[in-house]
């Protein structure tokens, strides 16, 4: 009871800096806070937030959820056809990136990708018929995230597509993503020309069987050690996947050679895989999905388990608020644009790939990826600054993902909605930028921020459940 008067006074000063100076001047101990109104000045959210800070139920739930996240052991277990392995993808179902969004509201690249998928599946004879079919309501669209899947950009996943299978034996969950198509004209940016669809067919007939055969020989590949190694080689496994793709290739290539698959198919598969610097991106995303799903569903937890964009809205989900999405209009990305393009040509932020940041890599591990520092202004110091800043909004650091440039500190991981709303520090997301029209493809890349309103809504929802 007499604690305060008999202890050494240690003050935290929130507000006028002159008060801190007076305390320090009198030999007192004081920490000044760089304070700004939380929740962008929204008082109702601020009050909800105050209930969550220092709340024992939330602290306990977060400890549990974070433990689940850290304990997850994603493995590359195989390759399969979506209809055979992804739950709920049978019949006329097409999955897409981000929160659920109905056909009429979808952005250009997503509509383009879906039309391509409908033709690819043989449900429509041409793109015009596909468009009518999509609008008719006869095809079910749903969020990849509702099916344990993730997809970059438009994130189109239809039943015939081959998918990577990531399992997590620690918790028994699985995650899925399609095979990466490379750059240029690709379905994930809304391209749907015959060459795009032909490539998808070739995945089905040639690449996927080769990969599957190789994985059958290697057995499941532990992904955390591979990802940790790639971080040390300059990847953050969202915008840069050169090292991780090479590391995976190193494991798959010898096995593929031994698989008994025809030499021409092996050669074509290897050619494709090695020519694509983004081969590992989809594996990285599904591995992150497997880790975050393991931590989802802990009542009371303020841990973010999903960040995803559907080209209309930026959405997040939180461990302690069940399947609910908290969305806000997706921003356009103020990044670096390819010659001839500008922000006016860009689709709003798109794709499930922000699952990497959710999991503590991508933009959060920017300190590892100095080679792509040009996206953020060009100075390595700035890359380190991004990673350090993210430590302010995470529940901790992942000891499996160490960062040499920061004295091997773990990457900041596990976004806490409370910390985002309290500090106003929005999570960074490394991203590619799609043209707003279907089929044009990537027109730039850069860094964007997960918008505060998603987190503010989540804070109110979590507070109302406690």
Give me the residues that bind another protein (CB under 8 A), please: 1-19, 22-23, 25-28, 31-38, 40-41, 43, 46-47, 49-51, 53-55, 379, 381-382, 384-386, 388-389, 392, 418-419, 422-425, 428
Give the full edge-to-edge strand order of the sheet including 336-337: 336-337, 442-449, 428-434
Q: Which one, 37 or 322, has the nearer CB to another protein?
A: 37
Give min distance, CB of 49 to another protein, in A: 7
| 416 DSSP 8-state letter | B
Contacts of 379 (CB under 8 A, 6+ apart): 373
For the chain, the distance separating the N- and C-terminal CA atoms, rounded to the nearest angstrom, is: 29
Q: Which one, 209 or 396, has the nearer CB to another protein?
A: 396
Q: Which one, 293 or 422, has the nearer CB to another protein?
A: 422
Residue 19's alpha-carbon distances to 4, 24, 34, 38, in angstroms, are 19, 9, 14, 21
Give min distance, CB of 53 to another protein, in A: 4
Separation CA 379–CA 366 (nearest Å): 12
Give min distance, CB of 55 to another protein, in A: 6
Q: Which one, 16 or 138, has the nearer CB to another protein?
A: 16
Give min distance, CB of 383 to another protein, in A: 8
Give min distance, CB of 335 to another protein, in A: 15
- What phi, psi does 457 have (nearest 5°)? -65, -40
Tell me if 55 sits within 8 A of 466, measured CB to CB: yes
Q: Which one, 15 or 67, has the nearer CB to another protein?
A: 15
Q: Which one, 55 or 400, has the nearer CB to another protein?
A: 55
Q: Which one, 349 or 352, has the nearer CB to another protein?
A: 349
Give min distance, CB of 240 to another protein, in A: 20
Give min distance, CB of 378 to another protein, in A: 12
Q: Would you state the structure tokens that stand for residue 67, as one six-digit string?
A: 């433990």
**Environment class of 186 (CB within 10 Å of its CB; exposed 0-12, middle 13-18, buried 19+):** buried
Q: Would you state the structure tokens that stand for residue 396, as one six-digit string?
A: 């901790």
Separation CA 61–CA 154 (nearest Å): 33
Residue among 229, 216, 226, 210 at smallest CA distance from 274: 210
Q: Which one, 2 or 104, has the nearer CB to another protein?
A: 2
Separation CA 72–CA 398 (nearest Å): 12
Q: Which one, 297 or 385, has the nearer CB to another protein?
A: 385
The dihedral formed by the CA atoms of 160, 161, 167 and 173, expressed in degrees to the nearest 10: -60
Separation CA 114–CA 439 (nearest Å): 11
Tell me if 193 sits within 8 A of 439, measured CB to CB: yes
The dihedral formed by the CA atoms of 442, 175, 388 and 23, expressed in degrees to the nearest 10: 130
Q: Which one, 320 or 439, has the nearer CB to another protein?
A: 320
Give min distance, CB of 425 to another protein, in A: 5
Give min distance, CB of 333 to another protein, in A: 16
Give min distance, CB of 6 to another protein, in A: 7
Give min distance, CB of 137 to another protein, in A: 39
Bridge-based pairing state of the strands 304-310 and 93-96: unpaired
Number of C-alpha atoms within 13 angstroms, CB side, residue 357? 28
* Apex 391 CA angle, 390 and 395, nearest 5: 115
Tell me if 275 sits within 8 A of 400, measured CB to CB: no
Bridge-based pairing state of the strands 140-143 and 93-96: parallel
Q: Which one, 22 or 135, has the nearer CB to another protein?
A: 22
């Amino acid at each position: 009871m007499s604690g305060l008067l008999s202890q050494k006074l240690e003050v935290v000063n929130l507000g006028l800096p002159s008060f801190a100076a007076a305390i320090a001047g009198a030999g007192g101990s004081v920490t000044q806070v760089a304070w700004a109104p939380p929740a962008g000045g929204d008082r109702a959210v601020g009050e909800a937030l105050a209930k969550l800070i220092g709340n024992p139920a939330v602290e306990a739930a977060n400890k549990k959820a974070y433990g689940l996240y850290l304990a997850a052991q994603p493995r590359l277990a195989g390759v399969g056809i979506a209809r055979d392995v992804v739950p709920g993808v049978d019949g006329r179902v097409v999955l897409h990136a981000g929160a659920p969004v109905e056909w009429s509201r979808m952005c250009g690249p997503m509509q383009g990708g879906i039309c391509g998928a409908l033709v690819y599946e043989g449900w429509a004879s041409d793109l015009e018929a596909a468009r009518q079919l999509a609008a008719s309501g006869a095809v079910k669209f749903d969020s990849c995230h509702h099916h344990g899947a993730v997809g970059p950009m438009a994130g189109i996943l239809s039943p015939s597509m081959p998918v990577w299978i990531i399992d997590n034996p620690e918790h028994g969950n699985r995650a899925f993503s399609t095979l990466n198509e490379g750059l240029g004209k690709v379905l994930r940016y809304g391209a749907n020309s015959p060459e795009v669809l032909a490539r998808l067919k070739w995945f089905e007939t040639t690449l996927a069987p080769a990969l599957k055969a190789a994985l059958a020989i290697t057995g499941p590949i532990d992904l955390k050690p591979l990802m940790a190694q790639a971080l040390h080689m300059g990847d953050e496994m969202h915008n840069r996947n050169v090292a991780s793709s090479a590391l995976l290739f190193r494991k798959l290539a010898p096995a593929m050679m031994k698989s008994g698959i025809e030499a021409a198919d092996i050669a074509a598969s290897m050619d494709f895989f090695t020519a694509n610097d983004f081969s590992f991106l989809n594996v990285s995303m599904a591995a992150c999905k497997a880790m975050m799903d393991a931590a989802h569903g802990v009542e009371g937890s303020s841990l973010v388990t999903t960040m995803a964009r559907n080209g209309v809205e930026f959405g997040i989900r939180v461990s302690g608020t069940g399947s609910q999405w908290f969305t806000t209009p997706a921003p356009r990305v103020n990044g670096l644009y390819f010659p001839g393009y500008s922000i006016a040509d860009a689709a709003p932020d798109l794709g499930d790939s922000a699952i990497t940041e959710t999991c503590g890599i991508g933009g959060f591990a920017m300190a590892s990826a100095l080679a792509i520092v040009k996206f953020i202004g060009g100075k390595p110091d700035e890359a380190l600054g991004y990673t350090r800043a993210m430590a302010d909004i995470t529940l901790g650091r992942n000891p499996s993902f160490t960062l040499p440039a920061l004295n091997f500190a773990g990457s900041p991981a596990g976004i806490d909605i409370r910390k985002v709303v309290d500090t106003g520090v929005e999570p960074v997301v490394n991203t590619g930028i799609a043209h707003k029209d279907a089929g044009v493809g990537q027109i730039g890349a850069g860094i964007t921020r997960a918008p505060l309103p998603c987190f503010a809504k989540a804070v109110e929802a979590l507070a109302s459940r406690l």
